[in-house]
């Protein structure tokens, strides 16, 4: 009898939620869910549906003509800006992945050593991240302007870095790298702070250099960060829009898939269905990398 009473005494009590707490929990779950559904999922599904209809956006949708996969066929076969836009997006991805990402990682490794005034350098490198891409484009206009730009003043040239179709893509990529590098630096810096120092000490005892320690010990530990960086970089390269739209609305050597989507949906052509087909292609490509990321994360949590 005594042991039974003792077991009941040590049994944890279940604390029930009050009606007010239940309402709070329901609202905390329901409101964000409704926002995501209304602002993300429904527009995405509507975009997929509209890609199969010829609709100008002004008449009733009941008057829209179904065209099946015609717009997808036009995009890849007869639309002249599609393949240049794909090529530019791939170049954008390559530069962000092979230039901006290693630079951000390198800066993170340097700042991880906690030298003096580290906070100042972190703030300086991260500042571009909090700026919009449109504002980044305006800032770099001070560097790339043909008449008053700093770069031409230093080199003694009169190159229109934003207007010349042979160099404007690379000029835009310099500005994008400046911003993306700070984002990558922050991700890797957060990952490096979580690496166990005993791993580095063991590598030093074994005679490994700093470079060998990083690539053979630290970098493999950062695998979750590496996956996040890969997905973020791919998505950033696909949704690059603001910068090139500010420069020349995605024309004259700066065609991207995102700018072609905007030009067809809100431009003078008002080709809602065709623009939706281009947007759906972007959605499918992005979904592949997101699905890979979710598969890896869920596999690790299992």
Write out pLDDT tens, residues 194-209: 888 888 888 888 888 8
Integer-rounded Cα radius of gyration of the chain: 26
Residues 6+ apart with CB under 8 A from 262: 241, 245, 250, 275
CA dist 197 → 66, 112, 114, 218 (Å): 62, 12, 14, 10
Phi-psi label, residue 250: left if phi above 0, alpha if psi -120 to 50, beta otherwise: left
Instruction: Give residue 131's pLDDT.
Output: 86
Burial of 72-84, coded b for 16+ CB within 10 Å and e otherwise, reads bebbeeebebbee
Kindly state the average pLDDT of the residues 62-74: 90
Burial of 199-235, coded b for 16+ CB within 10 Å and e otherwise, reads ebeebeeeebeeeebbeebbbeebeebbbbbebbbbb
Angle (nearest 5°) at CA 179 between 92 and 172: 45
Would you say how long the chain is, in residues?
Answer: 302
At 240, the pLDDT band (50, 70, 90 cuts) reads confident
What's the CA gap between 109 and 166, in Å, rounded?
A: 35
Residues 6+ apart with CB under 8 A from 232: 183, 184, 187
Structure tokens at 259: 């700018």
Give me the residue spans of the domains in the chain: 70-301
Distance of CA 88 to the CA centre of its chain: 16
Q: What is the pLDDT of residues 76-130, one digit of tens each?
A: 999 998 999 999 999 999 999 999 999 999 999 888 876 677 788 888 888 888 8
- Of the two residues 155 and 116, the one the predictor is more confident about is 155
With CA atoms as reference, report the closest residue to 267 among 38, 43, 4, 81.
81
Instruction: Give residue 13's pLDDT.
Output: 58
Structure tokens at 132: 């919009």
Instruction: Give residue 274's pLDDT.
Output: 92
CA dist 221 → 75, 100, 110, 204, 215 (Å): 42, 21, 18, 17, 10
What's the CA gap between 235 and 274, in Å, rounded?
A: 22
Q: Among 15-24, 55-64, 142-151, 273-282, name the most confident range.
A: 273-282
Specify whether the CB–CB gap between 262 and 245 falls below 8 A: yes
Q: What is the pLDDT of residues 255-297, one digit of tens each?
A: 999 899 988 888 666 788 999 999 999 888 888 888 887 777 7
Angle (nearest 5°) at CA 164 between 159 and 167: 85
What's the CA gap between 169 and 203, in Å, rounded?
A: 43
What's the CA gap between 264 and 98, in Å, rounded?
A: 32
Q: Work out the mean pLDDT of the chain and round it to a whole number.
A: 85
3-state secondary structure of 65: strand
* Structural fold of domain 70-301: MetI-like fold (1.10.3720)
């Amino acid at each position: 009898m005594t042991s039974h009473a003792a077991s009941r005494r040590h049994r944890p009590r279940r604390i029930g939620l009050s009606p007010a707490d239940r309402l709070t929990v329901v609202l905390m779950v329901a409101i964000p869910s409704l926002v995501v559904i209304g602002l993300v999922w429904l527009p995405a599904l509507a975009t997929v549906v509209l890609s199969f209809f010829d609709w100008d956006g002004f008449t009733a949708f009941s008057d829209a003509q179904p065209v099946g996969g015609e717009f997808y066929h036009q995009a890849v076969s007869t639309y002249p800006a599609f393949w240049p836009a794909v090529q530019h997006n791939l170049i954008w991805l390559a530069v962000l992945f092979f230039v901006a990402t290693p630079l951000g990682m390198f800066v993170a490794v340097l700042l991880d050593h906690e030298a003096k005034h580290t906070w100042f350098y972190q703030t300086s490198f991260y500042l571009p991240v909090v700026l919009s891409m449109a504002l980044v484009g305006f800032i770099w206009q001070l560097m790339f302007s043909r008449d008053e730009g700093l770069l031409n003043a230093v080199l003694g040239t009169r190159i229109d870095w934003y207007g010349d179709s042979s160099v404007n893509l690379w000029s835009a990529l310099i500005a994008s790298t400046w911003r993306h590098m700070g984002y990558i630096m922050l991700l890797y810096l957060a990952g490096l702070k979580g690496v166990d120092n005993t791993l580095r000490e063991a590598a030093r005892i074994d005679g490994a250099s700093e470079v060998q320690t990083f690539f053979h010990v630290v970098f493999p530990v950062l695998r979750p960060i590496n996956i996040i960086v890969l997905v973020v970089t791919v998505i950033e390269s696909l949704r690059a829009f603001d910068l090139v739209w500010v420069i020349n609305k995605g024309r004259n050597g700066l065609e991207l898939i995102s700018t072609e989507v905007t030009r067809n949906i809100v431009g003078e052509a008002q080709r809602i269905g065709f623009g939706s087909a281009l947007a759906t292609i972007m959605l499918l490509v992005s979904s592949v990398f997101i699905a890979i990321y979710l598969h890896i994360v869920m596999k690790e949590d299992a």
